[in-house]
Amino acid sequence: MRAERRRFSAEYKLRILQEAERCAPGDLGALLRREGLYSSHLSTWRRQREAGQLARLAAQKRGRKTDPQAAELARLQRENAKLQAHLQRAELIIDAQKNSWCCSISRPCRSPSGSETTGGGFSPPHRHQASL
């Protein structure tokens, strides 16, 4: 059975460093034995504290860092899908408007004066109009 590696939180590291600084020279060994630590832990944690890494430890995420290009690609793909849907809807509306305009041209309307007109002054040739 393999032993599991211990992980120390940033708060724990800072607390132990403060206790170690308050210890008298002979008491430091007792602190390390009590906590089950080595002097190399303290030296590593001091370097981390001086570099400002201990303040950031609490906010670090584990695992791979996200690729900024992958996030941008995902955002652009979502935007593309949304725009495709808008385009498809607009094309359906335009087709419906074309069909309704064509239908209104082929059927003559009665104007208030009683004469036959088509929508917009355009008169397409019809069989029944040729006999008029």
Tens-of-pLDDT digits for all 132 residues of the chain? Answer: 788 888 888 889 989 999 999 988 788 889 999 999 998 999 998 998 888 877 765 555 677 777 888 889 999 999 999 999 999 999 999 988 888 766 666 555 555 565 555 555 555 555 555 555
86 and 47 belong to one structural domain? no
Count of structural domains, the chain: 2
Q: Which pLDDT does position 77 carry in this prediction?
A: 96
- 43: domain range? 10-57
Q: Is residue 99 part of a domain?
A: yes
**Class of residue 118 by CB neighbours under 10 A (exposed 0-12, middle 13-18, buried 19+):** middle
Q: Is residue 22 part of a domain?
A: yes
**What is the amino acid identity at position 90?**
A
